Amino acid sequence: MNYSSAFIPTLREVPADAVIASHRLMFRSGLLRKLANGLFAYLPLGLRSFRKVEQIVREEMNATGALEIKPSVVVPGELWKESGRWDSMGESLLRLKNRLNNDFVVSPTAEEAFTAIVRDELSSYRQLPLALYQINTKFRDEIRPRYGVMRGREFTMKDAYSWHTDDKSLDGTYQAMGRAYRRIFKRCGLSVIPVRADSGAMGGSGSEEFMVESEVGDNTLLLCKSCEYAANVEKASCTPDFQVRPSIETARAAAANTPACKKIETPNVKTINDLCAFLKTEPKAFIKTLVYRAVNVELDLSSAPGCSKLERKKISADAPSVYSEAFFAVAIRGDLDVNEVKLAAVLKASEVSLAPDTDVVRLTGAPVGFAGPVGLSFLPIIIDHTVTGMEDAVTGALEKDLHYEHAAYGRDFEAWMIEDVRTVKAGDRCPLCGGELYTKMGNELGHIFKLGYKYTRSMNVTYLDENGKTQMPVMGCYGIGVDRTLASVIEEHHDEAGIIWPASVAPYHVIIIPIKYNNEVKTAADNLAAELTKAGIEVLLDDRNERPGVKFNDADLTGIPWRVVIGDKGLAQPNPQVEIKRRSEKENLMIDTDKAAALLAQKIREELAALNS
Ligand SMILES: [Zn+2]
């Protein structure tokens, strides 16, 4: 391709809203333009790299035995009503109506569409296992799209779904997908951190996320300095630095020598720090009690304090009945924080948040800041594991300016539930080996997940087993964000001057820069381009009538892995020579003109082979 006939509108200036490298560089190097907030157009150079990522994904999916299909992007709203997600997806689901006033959805993901297709065709166990995938457009009406294609509204995702007769078969496909994902990211030149939902112990996990490190990542990861442990903070656990007392009897026994629990005056003390200063103690000695409001709780609360009169309602075919709203007290050691994602999981709630002050006052009978588990009778109390190890604690006394001292779990208060709801932090100990944990911010590029029967049950998918009995298939799903993967390649491979593409996803392998595109220089440049093209190497020939500095800057910015400079001086040598330089290296090399094509082809094949190995 000649540069003068290409469409590569490079920019000197950085778009005002571009805060991360990939966003800046995709615009500056002419890969991408913005149509509206969160909506982008890939220009020719960007689309070449995008297609290469797509192709790597496709090859690795095909190698697992998954079959590609191409469903429509707009799907009937009826399918989403069947699964229950028409209601539960909220505002991020783009709904629309056609001229007949029928409901449709612009797919943000495609469990419903794929399940509907399989439901209509599946009759016998002989058709299973089956894995289908698409690489297709998706839409999510994000509130705040940002970071370019890293978090856009419209994006391309590879999503695969599989159906099985049993868990063993599902696990086989799940493991194969995990291996394929590792290969995909390696081939793209990406270092990913695989994060399992459980601790990575034996027995297999039901979910694995593939993260890349990113300063603007939307996930906090905890990693172990001594072993492979990696977990999302939403699920991370740690080795306790306290004594766990699982039974109430052991907790009571531990409190045998604790003085009786009594109220103390704590005038004008509002925060834990004030209290520590006042009592000359540390936050670890304090039981912090927070009141949470939970929405769509799927637990049975009929025996929970203060909950017996709550109204249950049916929200979807999938969730039999739930409480639309319920309040809980959560008690945790004073130096720790409650992890709301863990808490929501414990409560089987769609959302939890700190209760408004008016509710706290109403439910605890005390001003905000004086809640405590002792004598708290109107709320179910969930205590974090840490509290079971506290036999002599300070805590709020449910009255203004009063606290209890010598409060002991088991003796002075009990729990409705004991759970791990703490937020794990850097410095905590690894749950596998006891090593020190540290944090990184990460972006999720891919996710593999054992879905179970969620969709096959709600959408009534069945087959006949060997004995002619009706059975329900078990399902898995496996996604990769193509745009995010491409942007992450740039995040990992760039410098001040621009992108540094790995050969596997570079828009072209070689850029040839004739200092002046005329006479012998033109002939040499044209010959080299022809020879490389014949060898299967993708070439961009900068035939523009521009100063060499401009051409060099654009070559660095667009990040093409190899640059060849051809000038009068080199060609005038006894052995005519050209200069070659790798984008990722500083040094350049003069080489005989007639050896250049073979050397470049060899170097590029070597790099591709290393990425693909
Ligand atoms: Zn460890």
CA of 225 to the centre of ligand 1 (A): 7
- Tokens in use for 368? 């905000």
pLDDT (tens digit per residue) in 380-417 = 999 999 999 999 999 999 999 999 999 999 999 999 99
For residue 314, the model assigns a pLDDT of 63
CA of 200 to the centre of ligand 1 (A): 11
| Per-range mean pLDDT, top range of 116-130, 192-206, 321-335, 358-372 | 116-130
Angle among Cα 590, 596, 598 to the nearest 5 degrees reads 145
Decide: 539 and 1 in contact? Cβ < 8 Å.
Answer: yes
For residue 203, the model assigns a pLDDT of 36
Decide: 83 and 196 in contact? Cβ < 8 Å.
Answer: no
For range 455-462, the mean pLDDT: 92
| Per-range mean pLDDT, top range of 23-32, 83-92, 365-374, 384-393 | 23-32
Q: What whole-number distance in Å separates Cα of residue 182 and Cα of residue 163?
A: 22
Cα 297–chain centre separation = 25
Decide: 176 and 64 in contact? Cβ < 8 Å.
Answer: yes
CA of 310 to the centre of ligand 1 (A): 43
105 pLDDT band, cuts 50/70/90, is very high
For range 566-582, the mean pLDDT: 96
CA of 230 to the centre of ligand 1 (A): 9
3-state secondary structure of 323: strand
| Dihedral angle computed from the Cα positions of residues 38, 39, 44 and 47, in that order, rounded to the nearest 10 degrees | 70
CA of 429 to the centre of ligand 1 (A): 8
For residue 17, the model assigns a pLDDT of 86
- The string of DSSP letters for 202-227 reads TT--SEEEEEEE-TT-SEEEEEESSS
Nearest to residue 510, comparing CAs of 547, 488, 544, 535? 535
pLDDT (tens digit per residue) in 244-290 = 887 889 989 999 999 999 999 998 887 888 888 888 889 999 999 99
Least confident segment among 198-207, 298-307, 376-385: 198-207
User: What fold is seen in the domain 506-612?
Assistant: Rossmann fold (3.40.50)
CA of 228 to the centre of ligand 1 (A): 6
Superfamily name and number for 19-236+440-489: Bira Bifunctional Protein; Domain 2 (3.30.930.10)
Neighbours of 91 (CB within 10 A): 10
Report the chain's mean pLDDT, rounded to a whole number.
Answer: 93
Domain ranges of the chain: 19-236+440-489, 248-419, 506-612
Instruction: List CB contacts of 230: < 8 A, sequence separation 6 or more.
Output: 193, 194, 195, 196, 200, 211, 221, 222, 223, 224
Q: What whole-number distance in Å separates Cα of residue 196 and Cα of residue 198?
A: 5
CA of 441 to the centre of ligand 1 (A): 18
| Model confidence, pTM | 0.85
Neighbours of 412 (CB within 10 A): 20
CA of 611 to the centre of ligand 1 (A): 29
For range 477-501, the mean pLDDT: 97
CA of 129 to the centre of ligand 1 (A): 36
201 pLDDT band, cuts 50/70/90, is very low
For residue 241, the model assigns a pLDDT of 82
CA of 422 to the centre of ligand 1 (A): 19
CA of 199 to the centre of ligand 1 (A): 10
pLDDT (tens digit per residue) in 72-99 = 999 999 999 998 889 888 889 999 999 9
CA of 411 to the centre of ligand 1 (A): 36
pLDDT (tens digit per residue) in 122-137 = 999 999 999 999 999 9
CA of 196 to the centre of ligand 1 (A): 14
CA of 221 to the centre of ligand 1 (A): 14
Q: With left for phi above 0 and alpha for psi between -120 and 50, is residue 104 left, alpha or beta?
A: beta
160 pLDDT band, cuts 50/70/90, is very high
For residue 204, the model assigns a pLDDT of 43
CA of 337 to the centre of ligand 1 (A): 22
Just give the CATH number of 248-419.
3.90.960.10
CA of 424 to the centre of ligand 1 (A): 14
For residue 199, the model assigns a pLDDT of 41
CA of 578 to the centre of ligand 1 (A): 52
CA of 146 to the centre of ligand 1 (A): 34
CA of 448 to the centre of ligand 1 (A): 23
- Tokens in use for 402? 């009063």
CA of 185 to the centre of ligand 1 (A): 24
CA of 238 to the centre of ligand 1 (A): 10
Strand order in the sheet with 510-514: 539-541, 510-514, 562-566, 577-582, 588-592
CA of 114 to the centre of ligand 1 (A): 39
CA of 336 to the centre of ligand 1 (A): 21
CA of 239 to the centre of ligand 1 (A): 10
CA of 339 to the centre of ligand 1 (A): 21
CA of 493 to the centre of ligand 1 (A): 29
CA of 223 to the centre of ligand 1 (A): 8
CA of 211 to the centre of ligand 1 (A): 18
- Residue 69: pLDDT above 90? yes
- Residue 315: pLDDT above 60? no
